[in-house]
């Protein structure tokens, strides 16, 4: 196992963007429950904790993990980057994999809908009930395709795209949009934290469990990709990742109704 080999660990540390450090990008802001209090360096939140477990497996001490911020679409943009890894709920798919490398999947979320409790669509029980709603979704996300394909019958009418989820929340808050779609854990957090004031999780969209899952991204053909792959597979196999899911995500993924088709 290379991860227990001092020479291999020393080699990996010399391959990084800043030698001896592992530079990791996350969102700006980074949302709970993925990162608690927008402070990934705390190691609290599922993705923050996952990075420290992965770094440890790769031979990096916690103090050698350096956090930076990036926009969501930079995580899968082609070219060189000023980070080694980028983690911010990026769904693995073939188009993105043409431009960047992915780690093995670490979580497979569904997508959910949130609305204002007093809104016209708060009590929707099916996708059909939502077909006339104006949706707020974040640019570059798979949520856009799910809304168009599953709820809007292939149309993009009534699908408003925003630069980030903070702007999408504001659009629902001020009545510019009726509902917002993003991954289920984040929807639950937005409602429970009153990020969306007086909000409600309407339900999960059927058929949206991410088949390929979320992956950490790296520059295309990165020299680090095989080491990240081995390390991620190791912490998946030994139960570390499932333990982190149980710790940080369980309360955000259970007892959420699924909308009828």
Q: Please state, in angstroms and as integers, the Cα–Cα distance from residue 104 to each residue in 144, 151, 158, 230, following that order.
A: 23, 30, 34, 9
Q: Say if CB 35 and CB 196 are below 8 A apart.
A: no
3-state secondary structure of 197: coil
pLDDT at 251: 87
User: pLDDT category, 13, cuts 50, 70, 90?
Assistant: confident
Q: What is the pLDDT of residues 161-206, one digit of tens each?
A: 999 999 999 999 999 999 999 999 999 999 999 999 999 999 999 9
Q: How much is the pTM? A: 0.83
Q: What would the two tokens of residue 60 be?
A: 């990096």
pLDDT at 248: 95
Name the nearest CA neighbour of 150 among 183, 126, 168: 126
Cα distance between residue 40 and residue 67, in whole Å:
7
Q: 182 forms bridges with which residues in the sheet? A: 112
Q: Say if CB 87 and CB 153 are below 8 A apart.
A: no
Q: What would the two tokens of residue 100 be?
A: 């960047």
Is the pLDDT reported for residue 6 higher than 90? no
Q: What would the two tokens of residue 116 be?
A: 């204002």
Q: CA angle, corner 24, sides to 20 and 28, nearest 5?
A: 150
Q: Say how many Å lie between the first and final Cα of the chain, rounded.
A: 47
Higher per-residue confidence, 19 vs 9: 19
Cα distance between residue 116 and residue 86, in whole Å:
32
Q: What would the two tokens of residue 94 be?
A: 């073939």
């Amino acid at each position: 196992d290379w991860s227990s080999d001092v020479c291999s660990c020393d080699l990996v540390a010399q391959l990084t963007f800043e030698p001896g450090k592992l530079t990791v990008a996350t969102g700006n802001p980074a949302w709970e429950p993925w990162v608690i209090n927008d402070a990934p360096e705390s190691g609290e939140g599922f993705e923050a904790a996952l990075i420290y477990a992965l770094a440890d497996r790769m031979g990096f001490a916690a103090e050698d993990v350096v956090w930076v911020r990036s926009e969501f679409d930079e995580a899968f943009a082609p070219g060189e980057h000023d980070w080694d890894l980028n983690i911010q709920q990026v769904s693995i798919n073939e188009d993105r994999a043409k431009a960047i490398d992915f780690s093995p999947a670490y979580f497979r979320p569904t997508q959910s809908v949130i609305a204002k409790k007093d809104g016209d669509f708060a009590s929707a029980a099916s996708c059909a009930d939502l077909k006339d709603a104006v949706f707020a979704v974040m640019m570059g996300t798979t949520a856009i395709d799910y809304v168009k394909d599953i709820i809007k019958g292939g149309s993009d009418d009534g699908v408003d795209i925003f630069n980030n989820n903070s702007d999408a929340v504001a659009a629902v808050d001020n009545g510019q949009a009726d509902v917002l779609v993003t991954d289920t854990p984040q929807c639950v957090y937005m409602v429970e934290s009153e990020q969306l004031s007086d909000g409600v999780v309407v339900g999960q969209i059927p058929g949206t469990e991410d088949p390929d899952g979320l992956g950490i991204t790296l520059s295309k053909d990165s020299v680090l990709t095989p080491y990240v792959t081995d390390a991620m597979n190791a912490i998946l196999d030994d139960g570390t990742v499932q333990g982190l899911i149980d710790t940080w995500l369980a309360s955000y993924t259970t007892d959420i109704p699924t909308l009828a088709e």
